Amino acid sequence: MIIAQINSSEYEYKNATLDSYAYDEEALKIKPVIEKYANRLYSMKEGRNLVLWSNGNGRGKDFLSYAILKKVREFDQPIWNRETEQFSPMGNVRTVAVNFTPLMKALKGFGDEEKKFQHLFYTCDYLAINEMATSKNYADDDELLDLFNHRIADFKPIIISTNYSPEQFKNTFGQSIFSKLQSRTDFIEIPGTDKRPALKELNDEKV
């Protein structure tokens, strides 16, 4: 079974917001970039992509990804219609969050379920790929490159969380994929230490 969150958040991130992230002094420097990206007038119109990376676990990359998705799903945000090249004052968007392993399983599959998710990954307004790190080498993988080609050509934003630095990302996923992303992508290093205890406390308080 392919696990993807469609216009929803996983339970452990149900309280994720841009303001509830455990910002320390260093992390406050990235807050304006995250907030700008969560504005549909910017990320949707410009077709911007965002890579949240850190060399360690527990920095809250997935937490921030879900917080962004929740923000862009707010109905009263203006929405960009690429066909008419005009803004509407409000509207719904479709967001999908999926971990990297089930994403690749779907992209390489031929069954009905895989085809359904393939269509979804290509066409949703915002696609968040979590935990994009792997023991395999996916350098210029055909299915992954095709997905990125189509989404970038259609100005459909991609959000990626990974433990790879930009250089490690390029070495693992290949120059072609890296170059495609690089044209309209902000690579943001998430600083600080393990934030899981603070984020867990936040969730426990609101249960």
CATH number of the structural domain spanning residue 9: 3.40.50.300
Range of the domain at 20: 4-206
CB-based contact 190:62 (threshold 8 Å)? no
* CA 78 to chain CA centroid, nearest Å: 20
- Over the stretch 105-157, which tens digit does the pLDDT of each residue have? 999 999 999 999 999 999 999 999 999 999 899 998 999 999 999 999 999 99
Tell me the pLDDT tens digit for each residue of 18-41: 998 888 888 899 999 999 999 999
pTM of the model: 0.91
Cross-strand bridge partners of residue 187: 51
> For the chain, what is the domain count?
1
Q: Are 180 and 152 in contact (CB under 8 A)?
A: yes
In this structure, are strands 49-53 and 158-162 parallel, antiparallel, or unpaired? Answer: parallel
Which neighbouring-strand residues pair with 162? 53
Higher pLDDT, 7 or 58: 7
